Amino acid sequence: MIRRRGDTSYVRRLYVLRPLYVLRSMFYVLCSRRKDLTSNVERRTSNADGRRTLFIFAFCLLLFAFCLSPDVFAQGGIPGPLREVGFDQRLNEQAPLDLVFRDENGQMVQLKSYFGSKPVILALVYYECPMLCTQVLNGLVSSLKVLSFNAGDEFIVLSVSFSPGETPALALAKKQSYIERYARPGAADGWHFLTGEEESIQALTRAVGFRYTYDPRTKQYAHASGIVVLTPQGKIARYFYGIEYSPKDLKFGLMEAAANKIGSPVDKILLFCYEYDPATGTYSAIVMNSIRLGGILTLIALVTLLIALRRREKRSAFYLLRSTSKSDAERQMSNVEHRPSNVERRTIPGFLPFMPDRASTVAGDVDALYLFLVAITLLFTFAIAGCEIYFAIKYRRRSPDEVPRPVVGGLSIEIVWTVVPFLIAMVIFFWGAHLYFKLYTPPRDALEIYVTGKQWMWKFQHPEGHREINELHVPIGRKVKLTLATEDVIHSFYVPAFRIKADVVPGKFTTIWFEATKAGRYYLFCAEYCGTNHSGMVGWVEVMEPADYQAWLSGAPVEGSLASLGQKVFQNLACNTCHRSDAQGRGPMLEGLFGKEVQLETGETVVADESYIRESILNPRAKIVAGFQPIMPTFQGLISDEQLLQLIAYIKSLSQEQGAPGAPGAGQQAPQAQPEALRSNPVGPTSPQTARPTPRQ
């Protein structure tokens, strides 16, 4: 049982702190007296001053002893009339419903006539109270006006006078006043003001823990302030203290008293996140329940979003087919049908509705690894939860005096739960590593397409010279290698249907490849936040039949192949003055350079790939080629990433021409030092002033 003194706590604090005030006064007196004595050393010999100091000290001790007397602390330092005032909480105890009172009309009624189907708010007041009871009723009506519940519909209000001398006429006057202030339809049938005999009043107040006393000197009642909420069966449910009551707390209290039979679904969800505190008489938030509710709502929102996006994608494909001619529709329908391949036949079928289409040879492998991780997670989740439930039931404490047996460790169990997770982790590691190297090691015979990311678009360049923005056309059944670069910030090339994703970082090239197995139109996203319009950096990958792809190539306008454009940049920058094909230039030869090893002046060797050539052009002093002087200027900021890709395509074409039958040096391996082409004096003139760079695009 919790005892609360109502609104008299400030009196108790005043009387309890009184000894501290006395001690402080004693300290000030003694300190001031000591200061006077030390500043007048010559006069300190006076006997009168010594006797006065001793008298003051003895008086203070007597005063302090009086303040610390047992009687003072036994009564809490509270005046007599207030010692019997307060609220004693008796939660879940039954109120006596057979008690008889008079209503505002003077009719004899039993309390049980107001119970049975609705919760009841009980306010114990007396109608002639000069101040506190009026404040209690004012606070109650103010809170009720905020609630969406109506008195008489969802709950009943009983104002019961604990003064046996008051009459129904006083009760009727009070009711008319507060019904007018409440101003709700039917409020007169839902709010009742009762009076009664001393015996009934005492029985009711004792049952709910309401303590009060009569002061003959002032001819008033000293009492606590607050209201009580009871269930429809008459059990005490909640206490609310003071003269102002939070509408939220009052609503939650009524809902709990009614066993959640009143209130909207939203109110019930909010009640799940709050808990009643008997000590304060208020509702406080339950953090864990709020987190659980937030997690459930987040999961529901994600599943709903995935299903909606899936249906939207299917609906878009359906309308696209309907908008085409019959012959085109038949052809596209045949293309959209799943094409079985050796890879897909040995992987898990795509039965999950929220999974994107599988349209590449690696999509099945990625899905298999992903579903394996999900299965392992679910297995351990249910295993751990099942063990927790099983052990909690099996080894529960069956009596308060039960002492559990000591736990002895088991070596076999420790070995099992160490070795099994280790083996599972190794399987995941080697499986993921195999898939990673498969994704990021392009085949040699792949069709190479250069991709440039820029806020906020994707630019594609085909080897034949075709250019596209935010749309990429590729043939079905052909391996495609993507060489990616960015002109500004980090981007991430992501095609969900192909299960490929590659981060595009400034200052380097990234390569990834795929082989489409299913004709259709698939989303292309940037999966890395790259600025304010990041969500608009989307595109399409159009997978076509080989014949349709060739028709598209022949019909699209061409400005020249990527290698020919790179040759123009090469000539415009006067790179051919140093990198000559007769090995007489100040820079190494470029023929046969790409893909070969380059000997550096430090003795190290590097492979002349895309990243090496890019670094050689932008920072030629980073790696100096053996046998050449570091005289090549930097082209950082003078050419764009798109022009870099064109130069790389041109250098690649020189290597391909050298390896062709009948070409000079065909069938012969290029010298190891020649890949140094773009290092010490690579691409470019001897000084930056003689270069003629083209403007950045």
What is the tens place of the pLDDT at every residue in 135-189?
899 999 999 999 888 998 999 999 999 999 899 999 999 999 999 999 888 889 9
Among 89-103, 157-171, 421-435, 560-574, the minimum mean pLDDT is found in: 560-574
Residues 582, 544 within the same domain? no
Tokens of 199: 């015996």
Q: Which residues contact 252 (CB under 8 A, 6 or more apart)?
A: 270, 271, 274, 276, 283
CA distances from 685 to 541, 594, 619 (A): 41, 21, 15
Residues 153, 53 within the same domain? no
Residues 618, 662 within the same domain? yes
Q: What is the mean pLDDT of residues 56-63?
A: 58
Tell whether 296 is covered by a domain: no
Q: Which of 233, 265, 285 is the last residue of a domain?
A: 285
Residues 74, 92 within the same domain? no
| This model's pTM is above 0.85 | no
Q: What is the mean pLDDT of residues 644-656?
A: 78
In this prediction, residue 98 has a pLDDT band, given cuts at 50, 70 and 90, of very high
Tokens of 644: 């870099």
Tell whether 132 is covered by a domain: yes
Residues 526, 671 within the same domain? no
The residue to which tokens 């019909």 are assigned: 555
Tell whether 555 is covered by a domain: no
Q: What is the CATH number of the domain that holds 372?
A: 2.60.40.420
* 476 vs 578 pLDDT, higher one: 476
Distance, CA of 601 to CA of 364 (rounded, Å)? 46
Taking residue 274's Cβ as centre, other Cβ atoms within 10 Å add up to 18
Q: What is the pLDDT of residues 217-244, one digit of tens each?
A: 878 888 888 899 999 999 998 898 888 8
Among 490-499, 634-643, 649-658, the minimum mean pLDDT is found in: 649-658
Mean pLDDT, the chain, integer? 76
Q: Which of 64, 80, 96 is the last residue of a domain?
A: 80
Residues 60, 168 within the same domain? no
Residues 138, 49 within the same domain? no
Tell whether 664 is covered by a domain: yes
Residues 473, 582 within the same domain? no
Tell whether 316 is covered by a domain: no
Residues 426, 456 within the same domain? yes
Asked whether the beta carbons of 151 and 187 are under 8 A apart, the reply is yes
Distance, CA of 375 to CA of 306 (rounded, Å)? 20
Q: Indicate if the alpha-carbon torsion angle 426, 431, 434, 436 is positive or negative.
A: negative
> CA 429, 431, 434 angle in degrees (round to 5)?
105
Tell whether 409 is covered by a domain: no
Tell whether 301 is covered by a domain: no
Residues 253, 357 within the same domain? no
In this prediction, residue 616 has a pLDDT band, given cuts at 50, 70 and 90, of confident
pLDDT at 645: 78
pLDDT at 622: 80
CA proximity to 509, closest of 612, 439, 597, 596: 612
Identify each DSSP E strand in 150-264 by its residue range: 156-161, 191-194, 210-215, 220-223, 226-230, 236-241
Distance, CA of 620 to CA of 634 (rounded, Å)? 6
Residues 580, 528 within the same domain? no
In this prediction, residue 634 has a pLDDT band, given cuts at 50, 70 and 90, of confident
In this prediction, residue 693 has a pLDDT band, given cuts at 50, 70 and 90, of very low
Tell whether 290 is covered by a domain: no
Taking residue 402's Cβ as centre, other Cβ atoms within 10 Å add up to 8
Q: What is the CATH number of the domain that holds 612?
A: 1.10.760.10
Q: Which of 80, 99, 124 is the last residue of a domain?
A: 80
pLDDT at 205 over 80: yes
Please list, residue by residue across 522-537, b when 16 or more beta carbons sit within 10 angstroms of its beta carbon and e when fewer do: bbbbbbbebeeebeeb
Q: What is the mean pLDDT of residues 678-686?
A: 37
Domain that holds residue 669: 562-690
Q: At what angle do helices 411-439 and 363-394 cross, to 10 degrees?
A: 160
pLDDT at 627 over 80: no
Among 174-183, 190-199, 206-215, 557-566, the minimum mean pLDDT is found in: 557-566
CA distances from 41 to 32, 56, 57, 121, 483 (A): 15, 20, 21, 74, 97
pLDDT at 58: 59
**Identity (one letter) of the amino acid at 452?**
T
Into how many domains does the chain fold?
4
Residues 537, 668 within the same domain? no
Distance, CA of 9 to CA of 13 (rounded, Å)? 6
